[in-house]
A and B are shown apart, each in its own frame.
Chain A
Amino acid sequence: MALDLDMSSLYSIKGIAILDQDGHRILAKYYDSEVFPSQKEQAAFEKNLFQKTHKANSEIILLDGLICVYRSNVDLFFYVIGSAQENELILVSVLNCLYDSVSTVLRKNVEKKALLDSIDIAMLIMDEICDDGVIMETDPQAVVSRCALRPDEMNFGDQSVSQLGMSLLTSAKEQVKWSVFK
């Protein structure tokens, strides 16, 4: 992991994973082929990570020389993995963005079934947050507004929607208006 010593690298995320209550992968992306050369290493790491974190509700762990921050709800576990040199608080901001973006899209129904129903948007969210290991965005509202949400997937009751991308909102309002006139 010689590259990790280079603090000027922008490739700060090693992986993002969402696991279920049995530790099975729902979605995961790994960005460092030296640390995780294949599916085998990823799976072994995930298993170890889940064993060490699923009961300990404590947000952060140092595992195999990597910093892992995590959050869980009902039957879902969210993980962001970074190098040991990385600023822990930056990793937490990425994790919170992932969780809050998913939560907004699932209308606060953060559980496995709802996630599987919206797996297309969940994959887009992960893509908007991290590009090949570089943090792209940590503001959940920006992330959600950049995902191609259909108007019916937007949470109108939620205050945060008022701050979503204006173009999206306008188009959504248009749709509602037309459906009223029909």
Chain B
Amino acid sequence: SHPRKMRKDNKKDEEASSGNPFANLDKTTVVQEARAFNETPINARKCNAILCKLLYLLQHGETISRTEATDTFFAITKLWQSKDATLRRLVYLAIKDLCNVADDVIIVTSSLTKDMTGKEDMYRAAAIRALCRITDSGMLQAIERYMKQAIVDKVPAVASAALVSSLHMLKKSPDVVRRWANEVQEAVSSDNHMVQFHALGLLYHIRSSDRLAVNKLVQKFGKSGLRSPYALCYLIRIAAKLVEENENGSDKSAFQFIESCLRHKNEIVIYEAASAIVKLPNITSGDLASAVSVLQLFCSSPKPAMRFAAVRTLNKISINYPQAVISCNVDLEQLITDQNRSIATLAITTLLKTGAEASVER
């Protein structure tokens, strides 16, 4: 139903675009089509198709003028009357994509606040994320109560949406978000892996200027055994930062926590711990050896990303501690012929640094 622009491109291009209803979209036409959002009753299928075209154009870098964006934004607000779930969800996407270009976007604040506190979980999380994009410091205080509730919501998507949105808001309104520390701390004990990760990340950023508080945080959660691999990886990063800043070594517990993660059952956590250890300053050869032996095991993994991760980290170690990597030379030789060229190249350069002339000749 959309008019196709005349194309002068060669045949191959036309073949490639055939069957792609989005290939030859014209922005002005799509903006005009968006007027259909004002019609009653709302034709969900038609409006869905128009919104898809608009979002597609925006994902393809099409620039939209302030007037066009504002007109479209206001037309989109009419779609709140539709009960079609997919259409409503596309509305949230469009709000997020247009809110930096259109004027007076705060017009949707009350609609989004209503959705955020409504019964439909499917809308609540998405509404929180869209609402926080259009919210400034002043308005954030108006929704503060709802945000605090959402952070400890039992629905993981809602809690994660509130936590990650708060993290974005921390840049604009640090003082408001810092007041939510209690709720955020409560969310760290969530059973959901992503909620735990998001809560720990936000809690750290709320407390990052207070060294003592960060120390306590690593001690507490290092011992309590976080269940989320992502949260554990994050805690490893915070602990490594503490160790780095505290070079006289008065606090051993942060390092002990990182080291204990080398024995975790999840390979993402094991790798995070190994790569954190090798980056630490003044590392002992014993500490280095345990990290290297973990990476050595990864070298023979059937997963390319694991071999890549291992050889890239071994390469980093070989710059300052070539001796420590010699034990992996046989494994590295195997990787010279790896079908992934990045892995092969990294293996060769690592071997050159470990000074194993014999293996290079082979």
Q: How far is the CA of A127 from the CA of B96 in the complex (A)?
A: 10
Interface centre among A7, A121, A139, A150 (most CB of B within 10 A): A7
Closest chain B residue to A25 by CB distance?
Answer: B60
- Would you call B164 and A119 a contact (CB within 8 A)? no
Interface bits B215-235 vs A (CB < 8 Å: 1, else 0): 000000000000000100110
Total chain B interface residues with beta-carbon distance under 8 A: 64
| Chain A residues positioned under 8 Å from B348 (CB to CB) | none
| Chain B residues positioned under 8 Å from A89 (CB to CB) | 267-268, 271, 305-306, 309
For residue A42, CB closer than 8 A to chain B, the reply is yes
Q: How far is the CA of A142 from the CA of B195 in the complex (A)?
A: 13
Q: Which of A20, A28, A60, A113 contacts B340 (CB 8 A)?
A: A60
Q: How far is the CA of A147 from the CA of B87 in the complex (A)?
A: 11
Interface centre among A20, A25, A120 (most CB of B within 10 A): A120
For residue B2, CB closer than 8 A to chain A, the reply is no
For residue B148, CB closer than 8 A to chain A, the reply is no
- Would you call A61 and B342 a contact (CB within 8 A)? yes
For residue B6, CB closer than 8 A to chain A, the reply is no
Total chain A interface residues with beta-carbon distance under 8 A: 52
| Chain A residues positioned under 8 Å from B305 (CB to CB) | 59-60, 69, 88-89, 91-92
- Would you call B309 and A127 a contact (CB within 8 A)? no
| Chain B residues positioned under 8 Å from A88 (CB to CB) | 271, 305-306, 308-309, 312
Q: Which of B304-322 contact A (CB under 8 A)?
A: 304-306, 308-309, 312
For residue A146, CB closer than 8 A to chain B, the reply is yes
Interface bits B80-103 vs A (CB < 8 Å: 1, else 0): 000001101110010000000000
Closest chain B residue to A21 by CB distance?
Answer: B16
For residue A32, CB closer than 8 A to chain B, the reply is no
| Chain B residues positioned under 8 Å from A113 (CB to CB) | 19
- Would you call A8 and B204 a contact (CB within 8 A)? yes
Q: Which of B93, B241, B304 contacts A8 (CB 8 A)?
A: B241
- Would you call A120 and B52 a contact (CB within 8 A)? yes
Q: How far, in Å, is B235 (CB) from chain A's closest CB?
A: 11
For residue A138, CB closer than 8 A to chain B, the reply is yes
For residue B196, CB closer than 8 A to chain A, the reply is no
Where chain B touches its partner, the secondary structure class is helix
Q: How far is the CA of A150 from the CA of B208 in the complex (A)?
A: 44
- Would you call A42 and B48 a contact (CB within 8 A)? no
- Would you call B342 and A60 a contact (CB within 8 A)? yes
Binds A, one of B35-43, B121-129, B177-185: B121-129
Q: How far is the CA of A87 from the CA of B160 in the complex (A)?
A: 21
For residue B240, CB closer than 8 A to chain A, the reply is yes
Q: Which of B16, B21, B339 contacts A20 (CB 8 A)?
A: B16
Q: How far, in Å, is B82 (CB) from chain A's closest CB?
A: 12
Q: How far, in Å, is A95 (CB) from chain B's closest CB?
A: 9
Q: Which of A129-150 contact B (CB under 8 A)?
A: 131-132, 134-139, 142, 146-150
With A7-B240, A90-B268: A142-B156 Cβ-Cβ less than 8 Å: yes
For residue B272, CB closer than 8 A to chain A, the reply is yes
For residue A47, CB closer than 8 A to chain B, the reply is no
Q: Which of B61, B161, B308 contacts A42 (CB 8 A)?
A: B61
Instruction: Give 11 new A-B contacts, CB below 8 A, not counting A10-B167, A58-B340, A124-B86.
Output: A7-B237, A29-B59, A60-B304, A60-B340, A61-B340, A90-B268, A92-B303, A142-B194, A146-B122, A146-B125, A146-B157
- Report, nearest first, the 8 A-B pairs whose CB atoms are least far apart: A39-B61, A148-B85, A58-B340, A59-B304, A88-B309, A7-B237, A148-B89, A148-B86
Name 16 A/B residue pairs within 8 A (Cβ), A-sorted. A8-B204, A39-B60, A58-B339, A60-B305, A87-B271, A88-B308, A89-B306, A90-B268, A119-B22, A120-B86, A131-B165, A132-B168, A134-B164, A135-B230, A137-B160, A148-B85
